[in-house]
Each structure stands twice: as C-alpha cells, then as structure tokens.
C-alpha cells in the first residue's frame, strides 16, 4: 500500500508543470510583443508566444504564404536575438 501511494505521488508530481522564472520587471508585456509581431508585413497568425526560462520571449507565427517563423525576442528592447 505504501509503495502504491509513493508511486502515485511521484507520478502526480511529474505531471505538474515546472514553474518558470517570470520576465524581468522592465520586460515588454506579452500584449506589446504580440502587437509588434502583428504589425509585421508578412504576419498571418500567431502560433505561439511564450516566456522562456533562458530570458527571452519565444514567438512562432505563420506568414501569409504559410511559412513558419520562429523568433526569440529580447525582453526589454523587443529586438530579435541570435539563437
């Protein structure tokens, strides 16, 4: 019984998402990052906008001709970062 309970607790803890460090206080908010991306001339729709633990906004969107674009944006300036 004790092994079953331990295994169940371990499985449940593995299923919980890891908590990421939040963006710095001077980072552009996600809404502003989205607005910047939507203004790109080739923008069609957003696939992903997420804060990455490595310290940047991760953006994935599709262009009008269907290409996938992946960007890593500096949290303060909003400028693309090198990978």
Burial of 76 (0-12, 13-18, 19+ CB in 10 A): exposed
Record the pTM: 0.70
The number of beta carbons lying within 10 Å of the beta carbon of residue 57 is 25
Q: What domain count does the chain have?
A: 1
Examine residue 11 and state whether it is found in any structural domain, yes or no. no
Q: What is the pLDDT of residue 9?
A: 47
**Which CATH number do you get for residue 40?**
2.40.50
Convert the pLDDT of each residue in 16-34 to its tens digit.
455 668 889 999 999 999 9
Examine residue 51 and state whether it is found in any structural domain, yes or no. yes
Examine residue 65 and state whether it is found in any structural domain, yes or no. yes
Q: What is the pLDDT of residue 26?
A: 94
Kindly report the backbone phi and psi dihedral angles of residue 44, in degrees, each rounded to the nearest multiple of 5, phi listed first: -115, -55
Q: What is the pLDDT of residue 82?
A: 80
Coil, strand or helix at 83: coil
3-state SS, 38-69, equals HCCCCEEEEEEEEEECCCEEEEEEEECCCCEE
Domain boundaries, position 62: 30-73
Examine residue 78 and state whether it is found in any structural domain, yes or no. no
Convert the pLDDT of each residue in 24-65 to its tens digit.
999 999 999 999 999 999 999 999 999 998 999 999 999 999
């Amino acid at each position: 019984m004790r092994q079953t309970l331990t295994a169940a607790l371990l499985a449940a803890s593995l299923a919980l998402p890891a908590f990421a460090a939040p963006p710095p206080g001077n980072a552009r908010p996600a809404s502003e990052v989205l607005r910047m991306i939507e203004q790109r001339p080739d923008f069609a729709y957003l696939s992903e906008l997420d804060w990455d633990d490595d310290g940047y906004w991760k953006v994935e969107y599709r262009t009008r001709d269907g290409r996938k674009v992946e960007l890593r944006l500096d949290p303060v300036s909003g400028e693309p970062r090198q990978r």
